[in-house]
Amino acid sequence: MDIETKITVRDAMTPNVITAPPNISVAEAAAIMSKKRVGSIIIKDNSGPIGLVTESDIIRKVVAKDLKASEVKVSEIMTKNLITIEPESEIREAAHLMAKNNIRRLPVVKNGVLVGIITSTDIMVVAPELTEILVENARMKENEFLQREEREESIPGVCEICGTYAEYLEEVDGKFVCEDCKRELKGE
């Protein structure tokens, strides 16, 4: 008789979560993350978890904008409206939540109290069969990034071939052309 056991979030989560108050600076948060060797910190106040700050947040929202980390509060850059999960939830539900919301970390909360954190890496370790869900999410994210990058390289203006205005012109053979003319030039 086979008994199927369900892996819960509690089975895979890290119970000792690194937390910080919302009024510390990004520099202080980065120092804590470095010292504790973690990639994120849960931001907590008296009511419980209110945000999450990741290494990526620090790079994109502070470093890339050349802001002084000691002058920016974590509350200004943290992800708010946290998506959380209960410790008794199945690990598959955590993987689906991460994929659906394009996130890699889920605070684990029971009755409003932070009891742990689960990451996509934790899921892959205890349930490698769920890796495909997380990998597919990474592929979709990469495609979105590439499409956004392509759009950002385009510029609005008048097509140098047909003369119509287009929101996105691309340079083809030294001319800025609309999508239709680009396809025509490339023989599509």
The answer to whether 162 is a known ligand-binding residue is yes
The answer to whether 69 is a known ligand-binding residue is no
Nearest-CA neighbor of 49 among 117, 118, 122, 121?
Answer: 117
What residues are paired with 158 via a beta bridge?
A: 165
The answer to whether 62 is a known ligand-binding residue is no
Nearest-CA neighbor of 154 among 166, 145, 142, 143?
Answer: 166
141's CB contacts (< 8 A; 6+ apart) are 102
The answer to whether 178 is a known ligand-binding residue is yes
Run of H or E including 48:
strand 48-54
CB of 9 closer than 8 Å to CB of 105:
no
At residue 42, what is the residue type?
I
CB of 9 closer than 8 Å to CB of 87:
yes
Annotated binding site for Fe cation: 159, 162, 178, 181
Annotated binding site for Zn(2+): 159, 162, 178, 181
Annotated binding site: 159, 162, 178, 181
